[in-house]
Every structure is written in structure tokens, then in C-alpha cells.
Structure 1
């Protein structure tokens, strides 16, 4: 039972300035100050952000929305951004990146978590995390935003990509955006449709908004779509060439949307986010990138055979290493590591990097030639 109420903890951030000054002058260690504060309340820290779980609600068969109230160290965020979530499991510090689906004026935040079978984080959050428990949060990051102007918007989401878009949609409609909005959500089966009652209610209240679902592994009912993303699914969208388009989902989905958008030949920019790293793009002269290479981890004193088609983060984890990481999509830079020698290839662009001492992001870099990492 905490010794102090959470409301007092939230209000206390300005009161901790003397302690912060002691830490800045090296008269006190921040870890010692945090240990003292945590003994009074698990969400109280000198600088770190901890948030209490206020509520849980299922928004799909495999997706849970958590409402969080952060402590007084939170510096704010906006919908469309991501936030790192940290927790300790069996002595190991784990982190994952989740989209902010709501940011309320009273300080409450909402994230939505999709179950990842075999994962180390999502099963715990969905099945065991209780109201009243606390989680550590990192700073918000990400550039996805609602487009300016009144040309109309098309939102394309696959799987948990809906979480990056629904907060933007809510905010736009609440602020009176009245140009046409079409949302297409691609899922495997009906139980994975997320936020269905809310989206249908928004469609009923706002005549400019329409939502449809597409199913890849289940038959589609009347008015629904079948299969993966294709241009045929957008034939009913009025004024498509003038619309702004936002897309979010796994890399393969985003790449299909990019190819379609490039083929449209319009001048407006496509906003997109992929929450998995794409496959290695084999550019001209990159044939050697398919041969096995040696990957050395200097601090761990290991040398392993590397796969040039896969991210170094995954390969390091397979060999027992636990590098710091977050979004796993090259955005948050939590997995940045120093390249001591050799060469890596960027999984997104195909660019080869070989300068010793250069920082690389493990989640979007694959081995290109024998290399050595400061890991």
C-alpha cells in the first residue's frame, strides 16, 4: 500500500528541485533519490516518468486499451506519436513502443496493445497487468499528424496500425473537420476489428466519415472487402487524387501502399509508418549481400554467423544478447550501437555503411560484410 496518494505524487514535481540540484552537483546519486521516493509511492521518481493504470478495456479479441495517468515528470505528447513502455520481467528490463490513441486535457493517456503470440511483453500486459499498477514511460516521439487543408483524407491501416490513426481521427472530427474521410482497416478475421462500436458511432454522427474493413483470412460480408490492399478497394473513394493519405501497418502493407501511391503520380506527400522492418532491398551490385558473414560482438566476446537479410537486433537476441531497444522500426533510436568495423546495410534504403565509429540502429541494419559491433 503506497504511503502517499498518487495525486500528491503528481503535484510534487516542482518540490523536487532541491533534490535535483543535489544530483546535478554530484552530491547525491539519482538512484538513491529514486529509491527513497519509490519507497513512498511506486510511481514517484526524481526525473523518470511512471504512470498508473487507471482502466483496461478490450477493443478487439486480441487488443487491449490501457488508460494511464503519468506522474508529474510527464512532458506531454500528442496523438499519432509513440511512447516507450518499460517493465521488469524476471529481472530483465524490457521495452516496447506503442501509439498514443488518446491524449486527454486532464493528463490521461491511452495506448492500445495487440497480442503478439510468444511475445515477452504483450501477453503479460493483456493477461496480468492490473488497474492500479504502475509502468515506466519514455518520452513521446513520432511525426505522424493530421493533414492541413480540406482536401479530404484516406486512412489505411493494417492490424495494429489502426492505433496510430484512430487518435488523429478522433481529434479531427472533434475539432469539426468536415471534408470527406475514408478509413480502411485490413485484418485477418472479424475478431481483430478494433474499436468497432466507436468507429460505427462516429460514422453515424459524422456524415463525412466512412469506415470499412477488409479480411484476408475470412469471408467478407456485404459492404466489406476481401484480401490484401489493392487499388480496387479505393474505387469508391470520391476525389481520391486530391485526398491526403495516411498509412500504418507492417512493412509489406506500407510498401504496397507506397507503390500504389507512386503510380498515382500526384504531387501530395504520403504519410506512413511501418511497425516492422522491411525486407532487405537488393540493389544493383549487392549480390554479395546474400552470402553468410561473421558478426562480432566486442563486449560480449562472441562471433557468430550473420544473416544479411535480417536485422542485427533479432540476430543478437537469438544469441542471448539483450541490447536496449524500443520501437523496432528505426524511429526511437533506442537500439543505437557503434559499428567498430566492417559494413552494415540499411534495411529500409539499402544504403551500405562502413565507417568505423559510426552509430547504427540495430533494428533496421543487417550485416553486409564481416563486422564488429560495440555490443
Structure 2
């Protein structure tokens, strides 16, 4: 039911401020207020972000760009960040993190979603999400930023890792960045090269931009191979941004001698295959469990019968952030140890280094 037009949904974001104050003062329950607002329009909420699908376009054989218009609750979003997309399938709420390839001031955003073989959420979005449908998004997160003072910028992407870098590239060029920019995009096959037409047009309009594609799974005659030192020779850049699977990002970090920002979208490789026995205490749940120092706290909490909030399971979306009360945890991505009480940790990339207690 849509008793209000969507343009009014966006306009109502500010006038709803008194209701937010009443909820903050515990005079009203947010769930009750949201129930009434959703009756007026499916995208109308006090704080949650809902968006209407405005357009769909295939930008590669296995990647779809979705043009969305958000309600008035998306604040401070920037291209290159990522958001959670929530969808309920057969009564189960699923979520997946996708990068913002474009953010416009009028509430329009663009996400690029790559088909994942066997992926329930990606296939549902690609095959069944229609123009006019309304979906829920999480608030934007992410730390990738364009290096404004760089004399030259190298963008290294593998697969769908091109999506946040494209968002940053579009905005940098629109702002008049004139430093040399090189984008190297690694894909398995020709058909997986995303946004080819647009990138070729950008090269025509901006002579400081060079885009190259490298094929890693094509026939031997066409294959360029995976990221290697020879691919980086002769590049005039003092700053690099890398995004892709964890192995690709690790390889880029090893090869690139200058400043580098990176973001991996697959689970990190564990630093140890066999762990020692540890005691896990979950304070709010009043449970204890015997665990090990090799696996993530998210996995072990689930094994203990708990259901922590989570999203990407890769350390990106921060949905599983929890407070460390006592003990020491290890970052599965790099082995760093954290033991400060009250420190926020991400369960999916944190393993217990010894006995720990967390606020879960």
C-alpha cells in the first residue's frame, strides 16, 4: 500500500524529528512508529534506510548496476563506501555488502551487484528485483578515500573490486583531478570486464586516465596472468588503491612499494590452522563454551547456539561489532593482538588468543 508518493517520503525525513525525540525519550517505541509509517509507504521509516529501485542496467555479463533512490535517512554517504542490502527470503533475513559506485545529492545511489554462483541473495536481486520495488539498506561504511595530494594514482581491482574504485574515480575526475591515473582491472574472461563503455568514454574525455584489463582465465594465447611485478613497471604513481579478494590485496601489498590503501571483500586467510583450547564467555547471554584460538569468534558463537548480528563475514560491514570485556583477541587478517577492555572488535575477523569474555 502506498498512501503517499515517494517524493513526499523523502521530504518527511526532517519533519519526523519530533517523533525521533519522543522515541529517544522512551515516550514511543520505534517499532510502533515505524509500523504506522510503513502503512503510509513501504519506504517511510524514522531512521532506517529504504530505497526504491529506479533503474537496472547490465554493465558486464555477470554484473548489474542498480539505480536506487533512498528515503531521507541516508546521511553523509560517499561513493566508494559500501552498504548492506537486506532481503527476507522464505522468512529468513539475509544481507550482503555492496559498494556505492555513485552517490548523488538528490538521494540517488548506484550499486553494482555481481552474480555469485549459488548465491541466494545476489541471484534474487539480479533475477527478481524489479523497478518500483523497495529494499532496505544499511548505513554506508568504508574508509577508502581518494588521495588528494598524490602526484599519480594507481587503481588495482580484481573482479567486483572495481566497484568502489569506480565510484572514487568518477568523483575525482568530476572534481577536475589532473594527476595521472591508471586503472588495472583483473577479470577471468572478456565478458566480466565491467563498465567498459563508460571507462572507454572517460579515457576519451580525460587524457590523464588510462584503463587496462588483464585476463586471468582466458585461453593461453589471450591470458595476461595474475597481478605481477612486470604489470606495475613504468607506472607513474605514488599512491595506490587496491580492492578485490584477500589474496589479490595481499599480493598488491607485497608488490607495490609506495603508499597503498586496500579493501578485501573475501574472508581473510587464517594465520593458524590448529588452535589451542580457550574458554569463551558470553556476558549478556550468560553462557560459556570451550573454544579454540584458530577460528573466528563469530563461528564459535554460532557453534555455541548464539545468533550474533552479522553481514559480510569478511570484516567489511562492521555488523558483527561487539565489545571485548576481558582477554586478548587476534585479528585474523594480520595477526595483530588486542586486549584493551571495552574495545570494539569485529567477531568475524577476531579469534580468541586466550580466554576471553565478550559482551554478547
Find the aligned partners of 1:320 and 1:187 in 2 and give their Cα distance: 39
Find the aligned partners of 1:214 and 1:40 in 2 and give their Cα distance: 50
Report if the CA contact (8 A) 1:312-1:362 is conserved: yes
1:276 equivalenced with 2:266 (yes/no): yes
How far residue 181 of structure 1 moved from its aligned partner, in angstroms, is: 1.3
Find the aligned partners of 2:67 and 2:337 in 1 and give their Cα distance: 42
Report if the CA contact (8 A) 1:179-1:208 is conserved: yes
The 5 A counterparts of 1:228-243 are: 228-237=226-235, 239=236, 242-243=237-238
- Structure 2 residue aligned with 1:21: 21
- Structure 1 residue aligned with 2:136: 136
Q: 1:338 to 1:27 in 2, by over 3 A?
A: closer
Find the aligned partners of 2:120 and 2:307 in 1 and give their Cα distance: 13
- Structure 2 residue aligned with 1:58: 58
Find the aligned partners of 1:169 and 1:76 in 2 and give their Cα distance: 18
Q: 1:175 to 1:355 in 2, by over 3 A?
A: closer
Find the aligned partners of 1:66 and 1:155 in 2 and give their Cα distance: 23
SS at match of 1:121: helix
Structure 1 gap ranges (5+) = 283-288
How far residue 88 of structure 1 moved from its aligned partner, in angstroms, is: 2.3
- Structure 1 residue aligned with 2:251: 256
Picking from 344, 358, 361, the partner of 2:346 is: 361
How far residue 162 of structure 1 moved from its aligned partner, in angstroms, is: 0.2
1:290 equivalenced with 2:280 (yes/no): no
Find the aligned partners of 2:105 and 2:86 in 1 and give their Cα distance: 24
The 5 A counterparts of 1:97-246 are: 97-149=97-149, 151-219=151-219, 226-237=224-235, 239=236, 242-246=237-241
Q: Which moved more, 1:40-49 or 1:81-90?
A: 81-90
How far residue 235 of structure 1 moved from its aligned partner, in angstroms, is: 2.2
Q: 1:244 to 1:343 in 2, by over 3 A?
A: closer
Give the root-mean-square deviation of aligned CA atoms: 2.7
SS at match of 1:47: coil
Q: Which moved more, 1:38-47 or 1:191-200?
A: 191-200
How far residue 134 of structure 1 moved from its aligned partner, in angstroms, is: 1.3
How far residue 32 of structure 1 moved from its aligned partner, in angstroms, is: 0.8
- Structure 2 residue aligned with 1:350: 335
SS at match of 1:210: strand
- Structure 2 residue aligned with 1:286: none
SS at match of 1:141: coil
Find the aligned partners of 2:190 and 2:298 in 1 and give their Cα distance: 33
Find the aligned partners of 2:150 and 2:25 in 1 and give their Cα distance: 53
- Structure 2 residue aligned with 1:93: 93
TM-score (norm 1): 0.85
Find the aligned partners of 1:84 and 1:199 in 2 and give their Cα distance: 26
How far residue 340 of structure 1 moved from its aligned partner, in angstroms, is: 6.4
Q: Which moved more, 1:346-355 or 1:151-160?
A: 346-355
SS at match of 1:248: strand
Q: Deviations over 1:320-374 (max 9, x none)?
A: 7542123433344320234567653211231344677764311111244466655
Report if the CA contact (8 A) 1:44-1:50 is conserved: yes
SS at match of 2:186: strand
Q: 1:340 to 1:103 in 2, by over 3 A?
A: closer
Structure 2 gap ranges (5+) = none
